[in-house]
């Protein structure tokens, strides 16, 4: 079976290239092609959604999700594996809007602990909503230019048909750089939750309010759209006690998950350097 992520990703890039609204983004100064309201969905029991039409760095999203579950805003743990959040660091090497910190500490309660207790007590609950967006501080007329405003801003977790289903909502998604990383990261989070709750993984649904690409990536997007999908589905299971070990900040867990995925991951050739638009 062909890699489902490659199929959906290639289709969405083609749609944006051909039908995207082309506008100059005021904040960045770059021309964007954008489409509203796009959705991707994957059955995680059938395989892990990884982009193979070009190589993505596996340790980045693995270490990031572990850092999130630790509930930290200090970058020390993450910087052992990636510098991806360094541009957003503020005082004391911290990111005030770090997703995991907001999950576990920022709103005065531990949302992740509450989610797990909720679904352990009531497998039919539809109240499993996790927020990264702080309405008092993010977006609208906040009056300050912040280093980072959450792009993935909420997700829900439910057990439907006996399987764990996660629905992620992203307000703004850079399809060349952010999307493959976000999908893989929240897929991994789904496996962590399923392992902790002792249920099989189900669907990962990703809803994108603004799916876009920047002018500096147009040619690379065309190259991806023109490539033949060759990779098969990537089977995956998490190590035992994966959720608990992630909470504890177990560095060896990053390496174990990396080895599991890397041995089955054979991406196509690089597209060259892809610059991030901040």
Q: Domains, the chain, ranges and CATH?
A: 4-262 (3.30.572.10)
| Mean pLDDT value across the chain | 95
- 147 versus 87: which is more confidently predicted? 87
Mean pLDDT value across residues 78-106: 93
pLDDT of residue 103: 98
Mean pLDDT value across residues 12-19: 98
pLDDT of residue 142: 54
pLDDT of residue 276: 78
Q: Is residue 147 over pLDDT 80? A: no
pLDDT of residue 156: 98
pLDDT of residue 144: 58
Q: How confident is the model at residue 29 (pLDDT cuts 50, 70, 90)?
A: confident
Q: How confident is the model at residue 26 (pLDDT cuts 50, 70, 90)?
A: confident
Tell me which residues are annotated as active site.
151
Q: How confident is the model at residue 150 (pLDDT cuts 50, 70, 90)?
A: very high
Q: Is residue 196 over pLDDT 60? A: yes
pLDDT of residue 278: 66
What HEC string does the chain produce?
CECHHHHHHHHHHHHHHHHCEEEECCCCCCEEEEEEEEEEEEEHHHCCCCCCCCCCCHHHHHHHHHHHHHCCCECCCHHHCCCCCHHHCCHHHECCCCHHHHHHHHCCCCHHHHHHHHHHHCCCCCCCEEECCCCCCCCCCCCCCCCCCCCEEEEEEEEECCEEEEEEEECCEECCCHHHHHHHHHHHHHHHHHHHHCCCEEEEEEEEEEEEEEHHHHHHHHHHHHCCCCCECCCCCCCCCHHHHHHCCCHHHHHHHHHHHHCCCCCCCCCCCCCCCC
Q: How confident is the model at residue 175 (pLDDT cuts 50, 70, 90)?
A: very high
pTM across the whole model = 0.96
% of the chain residues with pLDDT over 90 = 86
Q: How confident is the model at residue 148 (pLDDT cuts 50, 70, 90)?
A: confident
């Amino acid at each position: 079976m062909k890699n489902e992520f490659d199929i959906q990703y290639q289709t969405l890039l083609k749609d944006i290239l051909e039908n995207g609204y082309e506008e100059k983004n005021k904040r960045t100064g770059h021309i964007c092609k954008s489409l509203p309201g796009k959705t991707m969905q994957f059955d995680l029991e059938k395989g892990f959604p990884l982009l193979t039409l070009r190589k993505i760095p596996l340790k980045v999203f693995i270490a990031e999700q572990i850092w999130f579950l630790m509930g930290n805003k200090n970058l020390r743990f993450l910087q052992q594996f990636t510098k991806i959040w360094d541009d957003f660091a503020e005082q004391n090497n911290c990111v005030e809007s770090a997703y995991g910190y907001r999950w576990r500490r920022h709103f005065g309660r531990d949302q992740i602990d509450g989610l797990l207790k909720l679904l352990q007590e009531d497998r039919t609950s539809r109240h499993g909503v996790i927020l990264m967006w702080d309405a008092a501080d993010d977006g609208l007329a906040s009056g300050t230019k912040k280093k980072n405003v959450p792009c993935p801003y909420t997700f829900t977790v439910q057990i439907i048909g006996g399987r764990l289903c996660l629905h992620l909502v992203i307000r703004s998604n850079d399809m060349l750089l952010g999307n493959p990383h976000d999908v893989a990261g929240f897929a991994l989070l789904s496996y962590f939750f399923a392992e902790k709750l002792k249920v099989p993984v189900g669907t990962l649904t990703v809803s994108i309010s603004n799916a876009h690409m920047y002018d500096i990536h147009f040619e690379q997007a065309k190259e991806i759209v023109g490539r033949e999908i060759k990779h098969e589905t990537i089977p995956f299971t998490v190590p035992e006690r994966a959720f608990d070990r992630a909470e504890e900040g177990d560095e060896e867990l990053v390496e174990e998950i990396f080895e599991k995925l890397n041995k089955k991951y054979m991406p196509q050739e690089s597209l060259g350097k892809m610059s991030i638009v901040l």
